[in-house]
Structure 1
Amino acid sequence: MTTTGEEHTTGRGGPWWWTRWRSAVLDVGLASLSAVECAFEGIRFARDAGIPLAAGIVFGVLAGSALLFRRKWPIAVVLVAIAITPAQMGYLMGIVGLYTLAASELPRRIIASLAGMSLVGMLIVMFVRVRQDMARGDLDLGDWFVPFAAITTAVGMTAPPLLLGLYVGARRRLMESLRERADSLERELQLLAERAEERAEWARNEERTRIARDMHDVVAHRVSLMVVHAAALQAVARKDPEKAVKNAALVGDMGRQALTELREMLGVLRSGDGSRRPAPSMPLVAVGVAAAVAASRVVDDGEGPCLEELEELIGQSAAAGMVVDLSVEGETRLYAAEIEETTYRVVQEALTNVHKHAAGAKTHVRLAHRVSEIAMQVENEPPPEVSSASSARLPSGGNGLVGMKERVSALGGVFVSGPTDAGGYRVSAVIPA
């Protein structure tokens, strides 16, 4: 696993301003070396200045110890190094201070200004020192050597730590930006995972609703007609045997059709992934999703009901004793499979509700083909007081209207239902084509 920026920031464990103990030990060691260096150089400075040696040593130790604060106040350390450059001491402090300054987050103009001051100070001091050595006879070279040695030494002690600090600072900023980006990506992935979980939960709920709606549409209409015919068969069994035989045949046909439709849906489920059946340990949600996919596959393959089967549907209701009037407006044309199935299911469920709640009532089914939409309306008149099928006692789960509205709304349509002024009931829907 990678260490993110947040973990890097919260991993502070050093004393005072240090983030780690290792950094504190390193700075203490560098400050000690700088103090020792400045102490030895302070002896020579005290002799040249004519002050006590102890004062020069103490001054050197105090000046060199300033390197301890290089991470906290890098500007102050570099200024101290520049200030003691004329005393020919603090070379280690100057090199480390420039490196720390260049690697810090300070503005570039401040870094360039202090680096230029350090370069000029070192250049002047080295020029004077080399010239003095040549005057004393310690060096027997030409006059060209004085500026050459001064420039070379000044650049050599200023440029390398400055360039190295700039490189380390840029690399450190790059790593911090990469850590922040990793943190941002991690948070985004977490949000995406949460949203995916929410979408999956929403999809599971939608599939459950869809499965229930499809099963309701497939079974309710057929079974309702079967119950109506069974009630009629019970009423005329002794009085009119021929009609009883006819009703019994109709009941059988309805049952076979209902079983066929169920078999088609469940058959696609069973062969959705080859011939493999769901394992007993498969969650119910997975089975539900598979059922919904199977149902949608039936629609996509064109195996669902279509508008051409409306006349057969109305004929079945008429055979059950309902007076149904079908009127079609506009030019008949083909629609998408889901639009034709939704139109069929709305009319089917509306007729089923008439069988349940208004048995024997005359019903008008109107279908209108328009330019950019298809409209349907199923309206029944008030039911008669006495009906031969009134003893059927058809149960109602109260989900028919909800399922119709969900189907129509899923296609961007409008669904309206309610009682009429004459005492009947009307179901209307408009679906974009």
Structure 2
Amino acid sequence: MTTTGEERATAPGGPWWWDRWRSAALDVGLAVVSALECAAEGIRFAEDAGIPVAAGIVFGVLAGSVLVVRRKWPIAVVLVSIAITPAQMGYLMGIVGLYTLAASELPRRIIGSLAGMSLVGMLIVMFVRVRQDMARGELDLGDWFVPFAAITTAVGMTAPPLLLGLYVGARRRLMESLRERADSLERELMLLAERAEERAEWARNEERTRIAREMHDVVAHRVSLMVVHAAALQAVARKDPEKAVKNAALVGDMGRQALTELREMLGVLRSGDGRERRERSAVPLAAVGVAAAAAASASRVADEAEGPSLSDMDELIGQSAAAGMVVDLSVEGDARAYAAEIEQTAYRVVQEALTNVHKHAAGAKTYVRLAHRVSEIAMQVENEPPPEVSSASSARLPSGGNGLLGMKERVVALGGVFVSGPTDAGGFRVSAVIPAS
């Protein structure tokens, strides 16, 4: 079971310099065993040195107890073991001290120097001890055995703990590096998840704004024309029944067109939402995946939504003309195909501008100019001042104040320029230029 950086930081520590109580218990146990070993060996040392046995035991206990600080001062432990090597004691302390020194973070030159000192000291002591044993007759072997025994014992007491300590230290550093990388990766994933969620929220907001613009364009234009025709129908119902029937048919056609466009838009939204739910239920995604799926779904809805194009411009002008508006359409340059979003934006700008004329300047003559240029398409809708008395003035069309803002957002989103404002003659002008690529 892996442990994260926070869990290690909040884990209970041990006493003094130990990280854990288990480490403290291990070091205390090793120090006790080392003290007992040195105390036993101190008896022989006292006899050889001609000092009281009690003094040798106390010296051995004190020297062996130094092993308790092996994690904090490994150099001191190794130096003490080297110092008491001539007394032929502290073998356990020397082995454990070299292992701890090799596994520490100390420079390699210090580790190598102390290991070499320990090897030389052990080699000299064992050479003298084996030679003395042979001189006393305890060993009856050839002269070759003295250097062999000294070298074998010195290397056997020094090399294994040194190599094992180097391996454990390298492995410990590797594991710590892997933990740090895992913690860093976890933080990066959390940051990516937060950013993905922010992008998804931004995509949802953009989609809401786009849907609001589409709904405004569809409803405002169609319903405005329906209200104008209804007002005209009310005015001529008794005087001219045929014209009233014609206006009623136009109102019905526009209502059906508005419903069709609304159904298409809502159908795209439902299909996109259904796919997103299926994606979320099919695979248990992480936070990054869920946010990315939400952003992708919003993008799909925007891409799949079908809108009008410049080829529908004549029909748009005809609808306004049927509502009683005098519209003059002029086209400059050779018509060509543009990207769907460019054509849809150009159409919506003209549509919303005509809708505003119906709302605020009913009966005013309007000029619609469309220019196909080399690298852009330009459109302008300008109306003259409205007549003081208009048959459609009684329609009392409400205004939400979002039409011009929606047109500007559409044009600017494509890198174009949008300008609107009153003219010197008292009318109103809407102009937009959209890059063609």
**TM-score under structure 1 normalisation?**
0.91
Question: 1:55-100 CA deviation, whole Å, 9 max, x = no partner?
Answer: 1111111111000000111111111111111111111000000101
Specify the alignment match of 2:370 in structure 1.
Answer: 367
Q: Which residue matches 2:304?
A: 297
- Shift in alpha-carbon separation, 1:272–1:175, aligned structure 2, 3 A: closer
Deviation at 1:290, TM superposition (A): 7.6
Q: For 2:354, which of 342, 351, 366 is the aligned residue?
A: 351
User: Does the alignment pair 1:261 with 2:282?
Assistant: no
Q: Tell me if the contact between 1:265 and 1:295 (Cα under 8 Å) persists in the aligned partners.
A: no
**Equivalent-residue separation in structure 2 for 1:43 and 1:384 (angstroms):** 126
CA contact (8 A) 2:43 2:57 kept: yes
Alpha-carbon deviation of 1:296? Answer: 3.7
Residues 344-353 or 376-385, more deviating: 376-385
Unaligned runs of 5+ in 2: 279-292
Alignment partners' CA distance in 1, 2:173 and 2:406: 59
State the match for 2:121 in structure 1. Answer: 121
Q: Partners in 2 of 1:391 and 1:105 — Cα distance?
A: 91
Do the aligned residues in 2 keep the contact of 1:211 with 1:291 (CA within 8 Å)?
no
Question: What amino acid sits opposite 1:38 in the alignment?
Answer: C
Aligned equivalent of 1:410: 413
Q: Is 2:343 the partner of 1:340?
A: yes
Task: Indicate the larger mover: 10-19 or 329-338.
Answer: 10-19
Q: Report the secondary structure of 1:427's partner residue.
A: strand
- The answer to whether structure 1 residue 186 and structure 2 residue 193 are counterparts is no
Distance 1:360 1:322 in 2: 6
How far apart in 2 are the matches of 1:77 and 1:12?
Answer: 27
For 1:428 and 1:95, locate their aligned partners in 2 and report how far apart those are by CA, in whole Å: 90
Separation in structure 1 between the aligned mates of residue 434 and residue 358 of structure 2, nearest angstrom: 25
Instruction: Find the aligned partners of 2:360 and 2:184 in 1 and give their Cα distance.
Output: 60
Correspondence for 2:429 among 421, 426, 430:
426
User: 2:284: which partner in 1?
Assistant: none
Query: 1:43 matched to which residue of 2?
Result: 43
Aligned equivalents of 1:130 and 1:291: distance in 2? 86
1:113-140 CA distances to partner (integer Å, 9 max, x unpaired)?
Answer: 1111111111111111112222222222
My pick for the range that moved more, 102-111 or 191-200, is: 191-200
Aligned to 2:329: 326
Partner of 1:418, secondary structure, is strand
Deviation, 1:326, is 1.6
> Within 1, Cα distance between the matches of 2:220 and 2:402?
11
* Paired residues of 1:69 and 1:77 also in contact (CA < 8 A): yes
One of 382, 386, 401 as aligned partner of 1:383 = 386
* Offset, 1:260: 2.1
Which has the larger displacement, 23-32 or 289-298?
289-298
Instruction: Compute the displacement of 1:106 (Å).
Output: 1.2
Partner secondary structure for residue 416 of structure 1: strand
What CA distance in whole angstroms lies between the structure 2 residues aligned with 1:270 and 1:14? 60
Q: Which runs of 5+ in 1 are unaligned?
A: 279-285
Kept in 2, the 8 Å contact 1:327–1:367? The answer is yes
Judging changes above 3 Å, is the alpha-carbon distance between structure 1 residues 394 and 291 closer, same or farther for their aligned structure 2 residues?
farther
When structure 1 is superposed on structure 2, of 417-426 and 60-69 the one drifting more is: 417-426
Residue of structure 2 in register with 1:31 after alignment = 31
Decide whether the 8 Å contact of 1:265 with 1:294 is kept in 2.
Answer: no
Post-superposition CA distance 1:153-193 (Å, at most 9, x none): 11111110011111111111111112112211221222222
Which of 314, 317, 323 is 2:317 aligned to? 314
Does the C-alpha gap of structure 1 residues 144 and 274 become closer, same or farther in structure 2, counting only changes over 3 Å?
A: closer
Structure 2 residue 41 is the aligned partner of structure 1 residue 55: no
1:345–1:297 Cα change, 3 Å: same
Report the residue type matching 2:411 in the other structure.
V
Could you list the per-position Cα deviations for residues 206-253 of structure 1 after superposition, in whole angstroms to 9, with x for gaps in the alignment?
222222211111121111111111112222233333333322222222
Q: Indicate the SS of the match to 2:305.
A: helix
Question: Partner residue of 1:282?
Answer: none
Identical positions, percent: 89
Conserved 8 A contact 1:269-1:291: no
User: CA distance change for structure 1 residues 290 and 255 in 2, over 3 Å: closer, same or farther?
Assistant: farther
CA contact (8 A) 1:210 1:292 kept: no
